[in-house]
Amino acid sequence: AALVYGFVSVAGTGWSSARTIAAFAVGLVLLEIFGLVEARAAAPITPLRLFADRNRAGAYAARLLLVAAMMGMFFFLTQFLRGVLGYSDLRTGFAFLPLTVAVFAASQLSSRVLVGRFGEKAVMITGVTLSTTGMLLLTHVGTHSGYLALLTPLVIFGTGNGLAFVPLTTVALERVSPQDAGAASGLVNVMQQVGGALGLSVLVTVFGTASASAAHRLGAHVPAADLAQQAFVAGARSAFWMAVAFLVGTWLLVVFAVRRAAPGGEDAARADSDLDREIAAVLAAEAD
C-alpha cells in the first residue's frame, strides 16, 4: 500500500518530495520485512517459490508493464477527447467502445483458437507487438486530430491487449500447486494494481514536464486560447512515448523471459490436465 501510495502521490507532489520519498522508503522496508516473514512462515500468504518459476515471474512483470501502458493511455486519451475534441462524458465513454469490442473479440479468439494452435508465447508476442503499434500511432495525435485518427490505434491496441492478456494469465497459473493457486491468482491482481499506479504516476510526471516545457516555448507565439490545448497535446504525446517504452519492456520480457511451451504429446496432455485443475482451484479460491 505504501508503494502504491508513493506512485500515486508522484503525480501531485513530484518524485523528490518528502512525502513521496517517505512512502517509497516505508514501502521498501515493509516489503523486505514481508519477504523475511514469508520465507520463514510455515503457511505463507504469498509463497516466494511462486517467483522461482521463470515463466511465471516473467508473466507477472510483463503484465505489470502492459497495464502501466494501458492505464496511461486511458487517462490521457480521455482528457484529449474531453478537452481537445470537446466530447461529453457519455460520448467519451462511447468513443472507447471499439477498443472494448476489440479486447473482447481478441481475447475470445486467443483463448479458443490461437493459443492452442500457435502456443502461448507466439500469441503473447503478437499481442504485445500490436499493442505497441497502436501506441506508436497515438504518439502522432495533434490538436487537429479527429476521432477517426484515434479509431485505428484504439482498435489495434485493444486487439493486442486482448490477445496478450489470456496467455499472460495462463502462464502465470501454470504448474501452480493447488495450495498455491489462490496466491498465484492474487498476484495477478496485485501486478495489475501496481502496474496501473506505476504507469499513471510515471506518465503524469512525463506529461507535466513536457507540457510545461511546451507552454514556455510556445507562450510568445501562440494565442492564449490555443496554448492550453497545444501544451496538453505535447505533454500527452510525450506520455504516449513513455507508454511505448513500457510496451517495449513488455515485449522484451515475453521474448526473453518466457520460455516456449513444450511440444504436444503425453507430457503436454498431462500439463493441460494439471492446468485445468489449477484454474478450477483458483476459481474456487476466488469464490471463497
pLDDT at res. 247: 97
What is this structure's pTM? 0.82
**Alpha-carbon Rg for the chain in angstroms:** 21
pLDDT at res. 229: 86
C-alpha to C-alpha distance for 110 and 165, rounded to whole angstroms: 9
Question: Among candidates 167, 66, 188, 173, which has minimal Cα distance to 120?
Answer: 167
pLDDT in tens, the chain (288 residues): 677 777 767 666 777 888 888 988 998 998 888 888 877 777 777 777 778 788 999 999 999 999 999 998 999 999 999 999 999 999 999 999 999 999 999 999 999 999 999 999 999 999 999 999 999 999 999 988 999 999 999 999 999 999 999 999 999 888 887 877 888 888 888 899 889 888 888 898 889 888 888 888 877 677 776 788 888 999 999 999 999 999 999 999 999 988 876 444 334 444 444 554 444 444 444 444
Q: Which three cell numbers stand for residue 23?
A: 512512502
Helix H or strand E segment including 279: helix 266-287
User: Scanning the structure block, which residue is given the C-alpha cell 513444450?
Assistant: 262
C-alpha to C-alpha distance for 230 and 143, rounded to whole angstroms: 6
Q: Which three cell numbers stand for residue 94?
A: 462511447
3-state secondary structure of 99: helix
Question: Among candidates 281, 104, 68, which has minimal Cα distance to 192?
Answer: 68
pLDDT at res. 180: 77
* Dihedral Cα 65, 71, 74, 80, nearest 10 deg: -90
What is residue 114's DSSP assignment? I
pLDDT at res. 263: 43
C-alpha to C-alpha distance for 281 and 185, rounded to whole angstroms: 10
pLDDT at res. 283: 40
pLDDT at res. 261: 60
User: Is 231 in contact with 215 (CB distance < 8 Å)?
Assistant: yes
Q: Which three cell numbers stand for residue 239?
A: 506520455
